[in-house]
Structure 1
Amino acid sequence: MDKIKTTHVGSLPRSNELSDLLFKKDKQEKIDVNNFDEIVKRDVKKIVKKQINLGIDFISDGEMSKISYATYVKDRIDGFSGESERKAPQDLDDFPSFKERIARSGGTPTYTRPCCTHELKIKDALSLTKDINNFKSALEENNHKQAFMNAASPGVISAFLPNKFYKDDDEYLDALSNIMTAEYEEIVSNDINLQLDCPDLALARHMTFKDLTEVEFLKRAEKQIEYLNHSIKKIPSSKIRIHICWGNYEGPHSHDISLEKILPLILKANVGTYLLESSNPRHSHEWQAFENIKVPKDKIIAPGVIDSTTNFIEHPEVVKNRLVQFSKVIDREQLMAGTDCGFSTFAGFGNVDENIVYKKLESLVIGTELASKII
Structure 2
Amino acid sequence: MQPIPIKTTVVGSMPFPGWLEFSSQNLSQFGPADINEMIEDAVVASVHDQVSAGLDVITDGEQTRFDFNLSFYGYINGIQNNETELRRFGPPAHDQRGKHNIVEPLTAPKGLGVVEEYLRLKRLAPEGQGLKVSIPGPYTLSGRLLPGSLYKDRWEVTEALLPLVNKEIADLVALGVPEICVDEPSMSCYAYREDTRRFVDIFNRTVAPGVGKTRLSMHLCFGNYKGRSVGKKSIAPMLPDFLDMTVDELHSEMTILNFSEVNLLARFAEKFDVAVGVIDVKSYYIETPEDVAERIRKCLPYVPAEKLAVAPDCGLSQTARWAAKQKLTNMVAGAKIVRGEI
What does residue 316 of structure 2 align with? 343
Choose the corresponding residue for 1:4, options 3, 6, 26. 6
What does residue 22 of structure 2 align with? 20
Q: In structure 2, how many angstroms separate the alpha carbons of the residues matched to 1:222 and 1:84?
A: 35
What does residue 82 of structure 2 align with? 83
The one-letter amino acid paired with 1:49 is H
Shift of 1:332: 1.8
Q: In structure 2, how many angstroms separate the alpha carbons of the residues matched to 1:274 and 1:30?
A: 42
User: Would the aligned equivalents of 2:223 and 2:230 in 1 still touch at CA under 8 Å?
Assistant: no
Q: In structure 1, how many angstroms separate the alpha carbons of the residues matched to 2:24 and 2:190?
A: 25
The one-letter amino acid paired with 2:208 is K
SS at match of 1:131: helix
Q: In structure 1, how many angstroms separate the alpha carbons of the residues matched to 2:123 and 2:95?
A: 31
Choose the corresponding residue for 1:131, options 106, 111, 117. 117
SS at match of 2:340: helix
What does residue 303 of structure 1 align with? 276
SS at match of 1:311: coil
CA deviations on 1:34-62 (whole Å, 9 max, x unpaired) are 32122111211221122112210010000
Choose the corresponding residue for 2:290, options 300, 304, 317. 317
CA deviations on 1:321-349 (whole Å, 9 max, x unpaired) are 111111101122211111100111xxxxx
User: Would the aligned equivalents of 1:249 and 1:309 in 2 still touch at CA under 8 Å?
Assistant: no
User: Would the aligned equivalents of 1:150 and 1:194 in 2 still touch at CA under 8 Å?
Assistant: yes
CA deviations on 1:186-229 (whole Å, 9 max, x unpaired) are 23333331111111112346xxxxxxxx4xx231x432331221
User: Would the aligned equivalents of 1:188 and 1:239 in 2 still touch at CA under 8 Å?
Assistant: no
The one-letter amino acid paired with 1:371 is V
Q: In structure 2, how many angstroms separate the alpha carbons of the residues matched to 1:100 and 1:69?
A: 23
What does residue 179 of structure 1 align with? 164
What does residue 140 of structure 2 align with? 156
Shift of 1:314: 0.5
Q: In structure 1, how many angstroms separate the alpha carbons of the residues matched to 2:29 and 2:82?
A: 20
Q: In structure 1, how many angstroms separate the alpha carbons of the residues matched to 2:26 and 2:135?
A: 22
Which shows bigger deviation, 190-199 or 16-25?
16-25
Q: In structure 1, how many angstroms separate the alpha carbons of the residues matched to 2:103 and 2:26?
A: 23
Q: In structure 2, how many angstroms separate the alpha carbons of the residues matched to 1:252 and 1:133?
A: 32
User: Would the aligned equivalents of 2:143 and 2:154 in 1 still touch at CA under 8 Å?
Assistant: no
User: Would the aligned equivalents of 1:18 and 1:36 in 2 still touch at CA under 8 Å?
Assistant: no
The reply on whether 1:191 has 2:190 as its aligned counterpart is no
Distance 1:329 1:3, change over 3 A: closer
SS at match of 1:304: strand
The one-letter amino acid paired with 2:69 is A
The reply on whether 1:273 has 2:275 as its aligned counterpart is no
User: Would the aligned equivalents of 1:159 and 1:204 in 2 still touch at CA under 8 Å?
Assistant: no
Q: Which runs of 5 or more residues in structure 1 are unaligned? A: 89-98, 206-213, 345-349
Shift of 1:254: 9.2
Q: In structure 2, how many angstroms separate the alpha carbons of the residues matched to 1:137 and 1:110?
A: 37
Runs (4+) off by over 6 Å: 84-88, 107-111
Q: In structure 2, how many angstroms separate the alpha carbons of the residues matched to 1:131 and 1:300?
A: 25
CA deviations on 1:261-295 (whole Å, 9 max, x unpaired) are 11323322211111111112x3521112235x353
SS at match of 1:115: strand
Q: Which runs of 5 or more residues in structure 2 are unaligned? A: none
Normalized per residue, the structure richer in strand is 2
Shift of 1:134: 1.3
Taking only aligned residues, the RMSD between alpha carbons, in angstroms, comes to 2.9
Q: In structure 1, how many angstroms separate the alpha carbons of the residues matched to 2:96 and 2:64?
A: 17
User: Would the aligned equivalents of 1:3 and 1:369 in 2 still touch at CA under 8 Å?
Assistant: no
What does residue 94 of structure 1 align with? none
Q: In structure 2, how many angstroms separate the alpha carbons of the residues matched to 1:128 and 1:342?
A: 17
Q: Percent identity?
A: 22
Q: In structure 2, how many angstroms separate the alpha carbons of the residues matched to 1:166 and 1:137?
A: 40
Q: In structure 1, how many angstroms separate the alpha carbons of the residues matched to 2:115 and 2:269?
A: 35
Which shows bigger deviation, 307-316 or 144-153?
144-153
What does residue 65 of structure 1 align with? 64
Aligned length: 337
The reply on whether 1:248 has 2:248 as its aligned counterpart is no
Give me the TM-score of the superposition, normalised by structure 1: 0.80
Q: In structure 2, how many angstroms separate the alpha carbons of the residues matched to 1:234 and 1:313?
A: 39
Give me the TM-score of the superposition, normalised by structure 2: 0.88
User: Would the aligned equivalents of 2:173 and 2:209 in 1 still touch at CA under 8 Å?
Assistant: no
SS at match of 1:73: helix
Q: In structure 2, how many angstroms separate the alpha carbons of the residues matched to 1:135 and 1:254?
A: 31
Q: In structure 2, how many angstroms separate the alpha carbons of the residues matched to 1:155 and 1:258?
A: 19
The reply on whether 1:146 has 2:130 as its aligned counterpart is yes
Distance 1:109 1:202, change over 3 A: same
SS at match of 1:278: coil
Shift of 1:353: 2.3
SS at match of 2:199: helix
User: Would the aligned equivalents of 2:86 and 2:96 in 1 still touch at CA under 8 Å?
Assistant: no
Distance 1:250 1:41, change over 3 A: closer
Q: In structure 2, how many angstroms separate the alpha carbons of the residues matched to 1:132 and 1:34?
A: 20
Distance 1:100 1:67, change over 3 A: closer
Shift of 1:177: 0.7
